[in-house]
Amino acid sequence: MSSTNRPRLGVAVVGHAFMGRVHSHAWRSVDAIFELPARPVLSVLAGRDIGRTRAAATRLGWADAVDDWRALLERDDVDLIDICTPGDTHAEIALAALAAGKHVLCEKPLANSVAQAQAMAAAAERAARDGVRSMVGFTYRRVPALALARDLVARGRLGAIRHVRAQYLQDWLADPDAPLSWRLDRQRAGSGALGDIGAHIIDATQFVTGEAVTGVSALLDTFVTERPRPDGPGRGPVTVDDAALFLGRLSGGGLASFEASRVATGRKNALRLELNGTRGSLSFDLEEMNVLWFHDQDERAETAGFRRILVTESEHPYAGAWWPPGHGLGYDHAFGNEIADLVVAIAAGKDPDPSFADGLAVQRVLAAVQASAADAGRWHPIAGARP
C-alpha cells in the first residue's frame, strides 16, 4: 500500500533523554522496514525546556516542539502520545491522553504505585471501548530470541516449568562517585534497580512462561547511600535500592529466583533468563541477544545437551522483517518491532500487548517485593495474581 493510500498516524513523544531518543529513532525508521497499515508521522516532541526540546526535535526528526505535554491533548495532528518520562509523571500524562482520545504507549514500569497503575489500567479499559488503544513498553518481549522462547514454551517443548532464573545486571552505579539523578530519587522513580530493570525480568518471566508470579520473599539493599549532587557542591541522599534479590512462586507451581543490580561490576546490560521444565530447558542472555540456547530432554542421551539457535531466520519472530539470515539485530530493533505491533493493532481495532493490565500485574509484584523486604523478607502473596 502506498503512503498516499494509508491513513496517517500522528505521533508525539514526551521526553527526549535516553528513552525518548530510542523511541524517536524507532518511530523514524519503522515505516521503512515494515509494511504498516498506517503511516507514522513524527508530529511533535514535548519537553520541559523549549530551547533544548527544539534542538532535540531537529536532531531526531520531529516537525514541531513544545515545552508542555498538555498542549498535545488538543492538537489534531497528534493521534498517539508516547510517554518516555520519569515514572512519577506516567499516570498524569496517560490518564489525560486517554481521556482526550489519544492512543498511548507508556514506558515501563507503568507507574510508581499499584494505585496509579490500577487507575491507568481502568482508564485504558474504558478507552478501548471507544477504540482508543494503549500499550506498556516492555520492549524485550520483541527481541526475536525471547519471542521464540515464548513460542517454544507455549507449544509444550519444555513441558511443565519447574525453575526460572532471571537476572538483570548492570554496573553503571558501581562507582560511588557516580552523580545523583532522578533514577536515584524514590519520589520520581518509585524504586531503584527493582523497578528500573527488575520490572523487565518480572515481565519477561511472566511473558515467556505464560504464568504469573503469585508470591515473593525479598531483600533490597542500597550500598551507596549518598552521591555527588550534579548541579552543586556536596552529596545528596540515595533513596532507592541499588540491588534487589527475591524468590518467587509461579502460578503453575514452579520456583523462580530474580536478581536485579545496578552495581554488578563488569556487567553492562546482562538480562538473563533460564527456564527448566520437565521436557526441556532454554537459556537467554541479552548481551548475546540473537542467540537462544535450547535443550530437548526427549533427545537421546548420547547427543542431548543445550544447542545454540541463532535466531535470525525468516521463520523466527520478527527476524524476517529485517535482514538476511545470520545478520543479527541490535537493541534498537526491538523498539521497531514493538512500534510495528502497536501500529498494526491500532489499525486493526485490537488491543495491543503488553496491555496496561499487564503493566499493573508487574506493578503488583514490585509492590510485594518492597513489602517483603520491609518485612524482613517474609513471604508476601501477590494481590490479584491468578492462582
Helix (H) or strand (E) holding 214: strand 213-221
Positions of CATH 3.30.360.10 in the chain: 143-327+361-381
Q: What is the pTM of this model?
A: 0.96
2 pLDDT tier (thresholds 50, 70, 90):
low
> Is the pLDDT assigned to residue 356 strictly greater than 70?
yes
Where do runs of H (alpha helix) occur along the chain?
18-33, 50-60, 90-99, 114-128, 144-154, 186-189, 193, 199-209, 331-348, 356-374
More confident residue, 4 or 221: 221
Residue 11 pairs in a beta bridge with 42, 80
385 pLDDT tier (thresholds 50, 70, 90):
confident
Nearest to 208 by CA among 151, 276, 286: 151
**Residue 115 one-letter amino acid:** A
Reported as a single tens digit per residue, the pLDDT across 268-294 is: 999 999 999 999 999 999 999 999 999
> Is the pLDDT assigned to residue 66 strictly greater than 70?
yes
Residues 6+ apart with CB under 8 A from 263: 171, 173, 174, 223, 224, 242, 243
The neighbour count for residue 129, using CB atoms within 10 Å, is: 7
Query: Dihedrals φ, ψ of 64, to 5°?
Result: -150, 165
SS3 of 30, please?
helix
The neighbour count for residue 109, using CB atoms within 10 Å, is: 28
4 pLDDT tier (thresholds 50, 70, 90):
low
The average confidence (pLDDT) of the chain is 97
3 pLDDT tier (thresholds 50, 70, 90):
low
384 pLDDT tier (thresholds 50, 70, 90):
confident
Per the CB < 8 A criterion, the answer to whether 185 and 240 are in contact is yes
37 pLDDT tier (thresholds 50, 70, 90):
very high
CATH topology of domain 143-327+361-381: Dihydrodipicolinate Reductase; domain 2 (3.30.360)
Q: How far apart are CA 109 and CA 124, in angstroms?
A: 16
β 243-250/255-261 pair status: antiparallel
Q: Which residue has the cell 542421551?
A: 301
Domain 3-139 in CATH 3.40.50.720? The answer is: yes
Average pLDDT rounded to a whole number, residues 94-121: 98
> Is the pLDDT assigned to residue 369 strictly greater than 70?
yes
Nearest to 370 by CA among 194, 251, 186, 187: 194
Per the CB < 8 A criterion, the answer to whether 132 and 242 are in contact is no
Average pLDDT rounded to a whole number, residues 156-181: 98
Burial class (CB in 10 A: 0-12, 13-18, 19+), 291: middle
Q: Tell me the DSSP string of 84-138.
A: -S-GGGHHHHHHHHHHTT-EEEEESSS-SSHHHHHHHHHHHHHHHTTT--EEEE-
Cα dihedral value 324, 330, 334, 335, nearest 10: -120
Positions of CATH 3.40.50.720 in the chain: 3-139
387 pLDDT tier (thresholds 50, 70, 90):
very low
Q: How far apart are CA 353 and CA 234, in angstroms?
A: 44
Reported as a single tens digit per residue, the pLDDT across 283-325 is: 999 999 999 999 999 999 999 999 999 999 999 999 999 999 9
